[in-house]
Amino acid sequence: MRRDEGKDGGTAGGNWARLLLGMAIMAAIFSGLLLAIDHLGLMVPPTGESGDLSPPKIELFEASPDEIRPGESSILSWKVSGVGLAANVSIEPGIGQVAREGEFALLPEETTTYTLSAANSAGRAEARVTVTMLAL
């Protein structure tokens, strides 16, 4: 066995590098940082995310049309920014967890107010839209 090899055949330097990388990842986890490892083995924020977490911002939340008659449908559209990977975005009543951006076809039986909620560790945002049921 060469002097710079460990018992498993890896180099001592490689073992130290793995140990240090593991310690850095654990430090990032315990400090609440979200990091990824790039092709060079460097820790970086995931693509599309900055290291700074900002409160969520609701860019769009609407129903089209917002007035319908019984049996007609409406499309709910939304877009939330600044939520990061660990965000919670949901629409109530009855829809639940959703993506940061999307559409949902509604067929309500009565006038209903929908609430879009977005939250992360930096803050929370809410918006409401009402779909009004008109008489026949």
The residues with which 92 forms a beta bridge, in sequence order, are 115
Mean of the pLDDT values across residues 10-17?
A: 54
Same domain, 111 and 84: yes
Query: What confidence tens digit (pLDDT) does each residue in 35-58 have?
Result: 454 455 554 454 444 455 788 999
Tokens of 73: 């449908």
Q: What's the pLDDT score for residue 5?
A: 47
Q: What's the pLDDT score for residue 93?
A: 97
Q: What's the pLDDT score for residue 59?
A: 95
Same domain, 108 and 64: yes
Has residue 17 got a pLDDT over 80? no
Phi, psi of 12 (to 5 degrees): -60, -40
Q: What's the pLDDT score for residue 101?
A: 94
- Distance from chain centroid for Cα 130: 25
Same domain, 44 and 75: no
Query: What confidence tens digit (pLDDT) does each residue in 68-120 have?
Result: 999 999 999 999 988 675 579 999 999 999 999 999 999 999 999 999 999 98
* 67 to 60, 95, 110, 114, 128: CA distances (angstroms): 18, 19, 11, 14, 15
Same domain, 17 and 75: no
| CATH code assigned at 105 | 2.60.40.10
Q: Domain tally for the chain?
A: 2
Same domain, 125 and 63: yes
Same domain, 80 and 109: yes
In terms of residue numbers, what domain contains 38?
1-49
